[in-house]
Structure 1
Amino acid sequence: MPRSNRPRGRRPDNAFDEPLDLDRITAGLRRTVVKRTGTWTVQQVSAAAAQKVYLCPGCRLEVPVGQAHVVAWRADGLMGDAAALADRRHWHAHCWRMEP
C-alpha cells in the first residue's frame, strides 16, 4: 500500500492567525546596493503601485504611470537619512542597472 504524505492529526488553531499584509507583499523589498557613486538604498515599485509620472535621472525620459521601476536614494548621505529619503529618485529599471 502506498504511503500517504498528508499530515495526520489536526492543524493547531493558531497556525494561520497572522493576517497577510498585502501592502508589504506588493511593495518592493528594500536592499542596499554599492556602486562607484556610493551606497544606495533601492526599492522596486510594481506597475500597480506606480501612480505618478516621474522623470528618470538616467535617461531624462518619463517613467509613466503603470510602469514598474526602481526608487533609489543614498544610504550614506551626509545630511542624514531623512534628507536622503527626501532626495530619492525614480529610475527605469534598465537605467538603474546601467548607472555606474
Structure 2
Amino acid sequence: MPRSNRRRPDPSGDDSFERLLAGWKRTDVRRGWEWTVQPVSAAQAQKTYVCPGCGREIPSGLAHVVVWRADGVLGDRADLAARRHWHQHCWKTA
C-alpha cells in the first residue's frame, strides 16, 4: 500500500501555536525588550490587520511581519496571544 504524504491533523485540534513557532523567525531588541519577529509572505497573508506602528491597514496579500514578546513573564502562549501584525517598514523604524 502506498504511503500517504499528507499531514495528519493534530489530535488536540489547535496547532496554531506550534505552526507559528515553526518557521523562519528572528529575535529583535527594541527599547530594552526582546521580540520574536516572524515574516509573513504575501501568499500567506490572508487576512486584513491594523498595524500598531502607523494605525493603517495591512491588506490581505501584502507581506508583513508578526511580532510578539520573546521574554514575557506569562509564558509563550500568553505572548503569542498578544502578537501583532506590523508593516515591515513600521517595525524597522519602531
Pairwise TM-score range, normalised by the shorter structure: 0.7 to 0.9
Structure 2: segments with no counterpart, 5+ residues? 6-18
Distance change >3 Å, CA 46–CA 28, structure 1 → 2: farther
Report which of the two structures shows the higher radius of gyration computed on alpha carbons: 1
Residue 63 of structure 2: aligned partner: 68
- Could you list the structure 1 runs, at least 4 aligned residues long, displaced by more than 3 angstroms after superposition: none
Structure 1: segments with no counterpart, 5+ residues? 1-18
Instruction: Specify the SS of the correspondent of 1:40.
Output: strand
Aligned pairs, number: 75
Query: Is 1:42 the equivalent of 2:37?
Result: yes
TM-score between both structures, scaled by the size of structure 2: 0.74
CA RMSD for the aligned pairs?
1.9
Residue 80 of structure 1: aligned partner: 75
CA distance in 2, matches of 1:51, 1:60: 19
What percentage of aligned pairs have identical amino acids? 64
TM-score between both structures, scaled by the size of structure 1: 0.70
State whether residues 69 and 90 of structure 1, in contact with CA within 8 Å, keep that contact through their aligned partners in structure 2: yes
